[in-house]
A and B are shown apart, each in its own frame.
Chain A
């Protein structure tokens, strides 16, 4: 029950507001915290769905020439696995965290456009439903789209995909895209317009900073995808010729348009994760992030460069050595600012006091797993190596290392870190550690061997393979790893469910952290800061408050 007082001048009584929250409070909510949690919940559901799809794929691939799935079914499943993970799991998870945390971290009451925020979430949910509805349209050649998550033309044209599946894919992505785009607009407007006094741009928590840069990428590249999708839809439904080589169209054009979106999209999927690591590692090392300015600046560099590398997905298309070289150079260049971050995160731990909470373990795991994935990415920037290994299991290994070993590890780290703030309770640390080790082991078992499979010539997106030496054993290892990974997710979910009910009470600041979200209750009240926002005179407001004799500003001056 919440007591609401009416001022004397208006009658002076008080009444009690029902605090009971029904489902309608959630559905009709425009509060960024509720919307953020709904994004996270939706992301988790789709994570389970896409995870099951992956396990089904791995069953089919466990042995050569398997007949568990027909090729048509397998091809739909791998398409939906990829599309779901990217558009309905990773991006919404990051948008969810951003939604929840950014206003709190800048001392604001809500996002700049609360109603737009809600519209975005429900558009995303609707788009997801439309995408999955395609399974139910199954007829002999219908059903879900079977074109891969990047839907190359002309395979995605009507002539070669003549069921409604691809149309649902397009419409679903357009709907989901509304959610992503509005989130991007909202985040930028919020960070630019609603910061608490004293919170200059250079004092933004790095999670906010990286989310801001991500939001700019979203605003710039979602429309590119929309344009491509629209042209494909017009080709399919109105018999236009954009991507039909037979009538003068260009299959390569689709690739240019798609990857101009698609490459920045993968940075959209990783930059907020970098932001989470930038919050977690300092707190559990007990010292500020090393090289804040460089971590921030390198983020901007990555964003700019990400717009110049797209055709490294097209090295095998045969567009000429000059063309390939240009994109090879830019793709190598983008490794540099990423490396700068890895070194700064590592340096943050030096001369600190590292606390091995589950959150920190995932962050450290991120450092190693993402480095592996990033380095295999550098291998792909070397054009001739790409010419051998693109479209093989080596690239499947690469992107799972950066997306799972990278983003997913960071998101798990973020989950353990911010769950107390969101729910008021701690996740169980012991089960968290079990979750971490099972994840690390399962993940590496699943994907490390895939590097070798790629080098042995196993192409990607194949529903089966012949019994070549070593392929059988490695695929079986990969399948076993996948099931361990699946099991680890179950442990996480049980931890969440049980801790929501009976976890240890968290208090305002269980980790002794320093950014503004920890300056309010757990969970925060609807207006975020019931007793006002603490003064912001540095990057770590709560540190400064607790150590008025050695604030960050003072110490930075001393260091020179």
Chain B
């Protein structure tokens, strides 16, 4: 059993696997050396800080509902606390009145809640139409295929393929078509709006939109197995020119390897048939991996050091992920990192 805390700066030694409990091979995973904490997690997601009209509609309804519910809670709390204080048993207190009920009161506290809920229901109906516009008639702009435990993203109009990071132009709403490659997942970017399940055999669609430039956090919000916690994604809302430039870069062929290291890396990439997974949708497309902010669907910040550490042993960071440990030597890792860093 090991009680681990994040490795402080300069933590030097590596601790191997902790005690195996009845055959589990990783009851403890060791702390990682010299690797920055996953980023970029400086800003939060917040259901009450909407950046789209859809999220805004929900946020307003939520605030109104919270106020309504808070008022009820305050009322009930007051009534209960008042009762237990005012009518507490103490010397000289009057006898308990043997009362049995009042039809009038029952009517009051049945009808008033019903009426309030009818009003709430009215707001609900209106908000639903705004925050989840119909999707049946338009053609999707993106297809997102959810895998255990990463996101595959296709831009249907341009053919661009990427993973774990969705770029959208500010102020324009895009229609996303969701598929699952395996189990039920869920796409949730709280700043942008509602979440939607991704169910195998039951395609779903959602409009996504952001009115402000920024990077918005998203998570998988349906338990999907081992690494559900590290199935995060980013939605990056760019100004239109930057978005167009990004799209162009993503669509272009990546630069050819130049240095010896890069060439060796390219060779290893071919010979170890990384493409077997990474170009067949078993693992994320790596064509432009160096342009992304995170690795392993948010588990790591995308830095050469992290990439190297990941290649050494993926299980250090995301145990149970489908990427095997290829037992690469240090030179092989160095070369691969050099190569992959050119894939912008």
Query: Which residues of A are interface residues toward B (Cβ below 8 A)?
Result: 59, 63-73, 75, 135-136, 138-140, 142-143, 146-148, 152, 154-155, 159-160, 245-246, 249-252, 285-288, 290-294, 316-318, 321, 324-325, 328-329, 332-333, 335-336, 339-340, 342-344, 346-347, 349-356, 364, 367-368, 371-372, 375-376, 378-379, 382-385, 387-392, 455-457, 459-470, 550, 552, 555-556, 559
Residues of A near B77 (CB, < 8 A) are 368, 371
Contact A467 B96, beta carbon cutoff 8 Å = no
Contact B195 A325, beta carbon cutoff 8 Å = no
Contact B65 A353, beta carbon cutoff 8 Å = no
Contact A71 B132, beta carbon cutoff 8 Å = no
Q: Does B16 interact with chain A (Cβ within 8 Å)?
A: no
Contact A339 B223, beta carbon cutoff 8 Å = no
Residues of A near B217 (CB, < 8 A) are 457, 468
Residues of B near A354 (CB, < 8 A) are 83-84, 87-89
Contact B100 A555, beta carbon cutoff 8 Å = yes
Residues of A near B46 (CB, < 8 A) are 455-457
**Bound-complex Cα distance A540 to B87 (A):** 22
Contact A389 B47, beta carbon cutoff 8 Å = yes
* Residue in contact with A336 in the complex, picked from B4, B102, B110, B224, CB distance below 8 Å: B110
Contact B319 A469, beta carbon cutoff 8 Å = no
Residues of B near A336 (CB, < 8 A) are 110, 113-114, 117
Residues of B near A152 (CB, < 8 A) are 183-184, 222-223
Contacts A67-B29, A71-B320, A347-B105: A464 and B48 contacting too (C-beta < 8 A)? no
* Residue in contact with A67 in the complex, picked from B31, B55, B105, B184, CB distance below 8 Å: B31
Interface SS, B side: loop
Question: A342 — nearest CB in chain B belongs to which residue?
Answer: B76
**Bound-complex Cα distance A315 to B1 (A):** 40
The residue among A286, A550, A556 with the most chain B CB atoms within 10 A of its own CB is: A286
Contact A470 B183, beta carbon cutoff 8 Å = no
The residue among A159, A160, A344, A353 with the most chain B CB atoms within 10 A of its own CB is: A353
Contact A317 B202, beta carbon cutoff 8 Å = yes
Q: Does B152 interact with chain A (Cβ within 8 Å)?
A: no
Contact A356 B88, beta carbon cutoff 8 Å = yes
Q: Which 9 A-B pairs have the closest CB atoms?
A: A245-B201, A286-B96, A387-B194, A457-B45, A462-B229, A291-B101, A245-B200, A349-B83, A351-B97
* Residue in contact with B197 in the complex, picked from A68, A292, A317, A559, CB distance below 8 Å: A317
Q: In whole Å, how far is B180's beta carbon from the nearest beta carbon of chain A? A: 8
Q: Does B329 interact with chain A (Cβ within 8 Å)?
A: no
**Bound-complex Cα distance A316 to B222 (A):** 10
Task: Annotate B65-106 by CB proximity to A: 1 below 8 A, 0 otherwise.
Answer: 110010011001101100110011100011111111110011
Contact B3 A68, beta carbon cutoff 8 Å = yes
**Bound-complex Cα distance A354 to B226 (A):** 51
| Given contact pairs A75-B223, A352-B87, A387-B131, a sample of 13 additional A-B residue pairs in the complex whose CB atoms are under 8 Å apart | A75-B225, A75-B228, A246-B200, A335-B113, A339-B113, A346-B80, A356-B89, A388-B58, A456-B190, A459-B229, A464-B229, A466-B38, A556-B100
Q: Does B342 interact with chain A (Cβ within 8 Å)?
A: no
Contacts A466-B298, A469-B42: A318 and B319 contacting too (C-beta < 8 A)? no
Contact B25 A140, beta carbon cutoff 8 Å = yes
Report how many residues on chain B are interfacial, defined by Cβ distance under 8 Å: 106
* Residue in contact with B109 in the complex, picked from A340, A385, A555, CB distance below 8 Å: A340
Residues of A near B182 (CB, < 8 A) are 154, 159-160
**Bound-complex Cα distance A526 to B9 (A):** 68
Residues of B near A468 (CB, < 8 A) are 41, 44, 217
Contact A371 B73, beta carbon cutoff 8 Å = yes
Question: A78 — nearest CB in chain B belongs to which residue?
Answer: B223
Residues of B near A250 (CB, < 8 A) are 201-202
* Residue in contact with A160 in the complex, picked from B24, B26, B69, B183, CB distance below 8 Å: B183
Contacts A72-B24, A342-B76, A457-B46: A383 and B96 contacting too (C-beta < 8 A)? no
Residues of B near A379 (CB, < 8 A) are 62, 65-66, 69
Contact B98 A287, beta carbon cutoff 8 Å = yes
**Bound-complex Cα distance A392 to B84 (A):** 35
Contact A325 B128, beta carbon cutoff 8 Å = yes
* Residue in contact with B57 in the complex, picked from A67, A342, A384, CB distance below 8 Å: A384
Contact A138 B24, beta carbon cutoff 8 Å = yes
**Bound-complex Cα distance A349 to B81 (A):** 10
Of residues 217 through 259 on chain B, the ones whose CB sits less than 8 Å from some CB of chain A are 217, 219-230, 232
Q: Does B188 interact with chain A (Cβ within 8 Å)?
A: yes
Contact B199 A252, beta carbon cutoff 8 Å = yes
* Residue in contact with B320 in the complex, picked from A72, A317, A339, A466, CB distance below 8 Å: A72
**Bound-complex Cα distance A379 to B2 (A):** 40
Contacts A70-B24, A391-B221, A467-B37: A346 and B124 contacting too (C-beta < 8 A)? no
Residues of A near B201 (CB, < 8 A) are 245-246, 249-252
Contact A294 B106, beta carbon cutoff 8 Å = yes
Contact A316 B61, beta carbon cutoff 8 Å = no
Contact B228 A461, beta carbon cutoff 8 Å = yes
* Residue in contact with B106 in the complex, picked from A246, A291, A383, A552, CB distance below 8 Å: A291
Residues of A near B41 (CB, < 8 A) are 466-468
Contacts A321-B128, A384-B57, A384-B131: A353 and B121 contacting too (C-beta < 8 A)? no
The residue among A316, A371, A390, A470 with the most chain B CB atoms within 10 A of its own CB is: A316
